[in-house]
Structure 1
Amino acid sequence: MTAAAGFCPRCGSGLAGPPPTVCPACAYQLYVNARPTASLVVLDGQGRFLALRRAMEPMAGLWETPGGFCDGFEHPRDAAVREGREELGVEVRLGDLIGMYVGTYEFQGELLPVLDCFYFATLDVAAIRLDPAESSDMTWFDLAAPPKMAFSTMDAALVDAYRVQESLLSAK
């Protein structure tokens, strides 16, 4: 089920249809926009990236990159640093933006659109302390052959991260 609304969030009147729509009572224009997220691709210098095993739904038990939703009015770069600190227990140094990817996230029975921003990052790997509410395990996978990740945007970002790394190596 995709994100929908039956009533105007401003005045409570019934809506004629799903967003995008206009409230017939107060003329409020209602849209369903992608929610921004920020994620990290942490590389180890040996062609591998850090993956975390999700401890919560959706997609519990699958591998993911560290990251999460941006807070209201929070820049994705700031969210990426915050999420890294929360999930890994270490300070994060952001590198370049890998890219932005449109995907979906199931939440409270709805399929929400998301705009996932992925950044290269470095951190003190030896100091990682996983948040058990977020992740049950961590490992390193070959960036050239990653496993299927929890979300399609992660799969796409890892392909692009590999391409960037390969072009940097061939430029040397």
Structure 2
Amino acid sequence: MTYHCHRCGAPLASAPPVECPACGYAMFLNARPTASVIIVDGDRFLALMRAREPNAGRWDLPGGFCDGWELPRDAAVREAREELGVAVRLDQFVGMYLGEYQFQGELLPVLDMFWLATIVDGQLRPDPSEATDHGWLPLRDPPSMAFSTMDSALPDAAAMLVRGH
């Protein structure tokens, strides 16, 4: 694969991080931020069956990429509204996890952020372009999820709830 400078278009010697030999622009490959919610009801959490690639047909958590200049907390609330048709209240912050996302033939680094959340308004109506199904799954014994960061965040969320934080 050939890489080019984002500023002047000159060919680059390698993948980022790299400095453009023509204009001196320093190019980096930074993780893209995402925001997701772990909606809990007792000892269960709400999961969606992904309708699209990557990982279509696997269990997923409501969430997605932060828009430019959007605060991650705002993105988490927006994504829940878009994907589920409900308003949520964000509760405890579970954590940030470094992962990967396959998009347009590229493997991108992502920084996935998760919050415990509660539905506060609306009727659950998952967007069919996002999910083919949904279900309440056991938080203490979750299935393998669509992304490894979710596999890490769910046990951390369960531990937080046990400790009462």
TM-score by length of 2: 0.96
Asked whether the 8 Å contact 2:17–2:28 carries over to 1, the reply is yes
Task: State the 1:106 CA deviation.
Answer: 0.3
Change in CA separation of 1:5 and 1:31 when aligned onto 2, cut-off 3 Å? farther
**What pairs up with 1:112-127 in 2 under 5 angstroms?**
112-124=108-120, 127=123
Alpha-carbon distance in structure 2 between the residues aligned to 1:168 and 1:154:
21
- Structure 1 residue 57 and structure 2 residue 48: aligned? no
Asked whether the 8 Å contact 1:20–1:29 carries over to 2, the reply is yes
- Structure 1 residue 75 and structure 2 residue 71: aligned? yes
Asked whether the 8 Å contact 2:87–2:122 carries over to 1, the reply is no
Determine helix, strand or coil for the equivalent of 1:138.
strand
Alpha-carbon distance in structure 1 between the residues aligned to 2:2 and 2:31:
15
Question: % of aligned pairs identical?
Answer: 59
**What pairs up with 1:23-172 in 2 under 5 angstroms?**
23-45=20-42, 47-124=43-120, 127-168=123-164
TM-score by length of 1: 0.93
Instruction: Count how many residue pairs are aligned between Structure 1 and Structure 2.
Output: 165
State the superposition RMSD in angstroms: 1.4
Q: Alpha-carbon deviations, 1:10-62, whole Å to 9, x = none?
A: 001111111000000000000000000000000012x0000000000000000
Q: Which runs of 5+ in 1 are unaligned?
A: none
Q: Alpha-carbon deviations, 1:74-111, whole Å to 9, x = none?
A: 11000000000000001111111100000000001111
Counterpart of 1:147 in structure 2: which amino acid? Answer: P
Alpha-carbon distance in structure 2 between the residues aligned to 1:115 and 1:125:
28
Q: By percentage of residues, which structure has more strand?
A: 2
Determine helix, strand or coil for the equivalent of 2:41.
coil
Change in CA separation of 1:52 and 1:5 when aligned onto 2, cut-off 3 Å? farther
Asked whether the 8 Å contact 1:5–1:19 carries over to 2, the reply is no
Determine helix, strand or coil for the equivalent of 1:43.
strand
Determine helix, strand or coil for the equivalent of 1:127.
coil
Alpha-carbon distance in structure 1 between the residues aligned to 2:137 and 2:120:
18
Alpha-carbon distance in structure 1 between the residues aligned to 2:21 and 2:80:
44
Alpha-carbon distance in structure 2 between the residues aligned to 1:126 and 1:117:
24
Alpha-carbon distance in structure 1 between the residues aligned to 2:164 and 2:126:
30
Residue 8 of structure 2 corresponds to 11
Q: Which runs of 5+ in 2 are unaligned?
A: none
Task: State the 1:126 CA deviation.
Answer: 7.1
Determine helix, strand or coil for the equivalent of 2:49.
strand
Task: State the 1:162 CA deviation.
Answer: 0.7
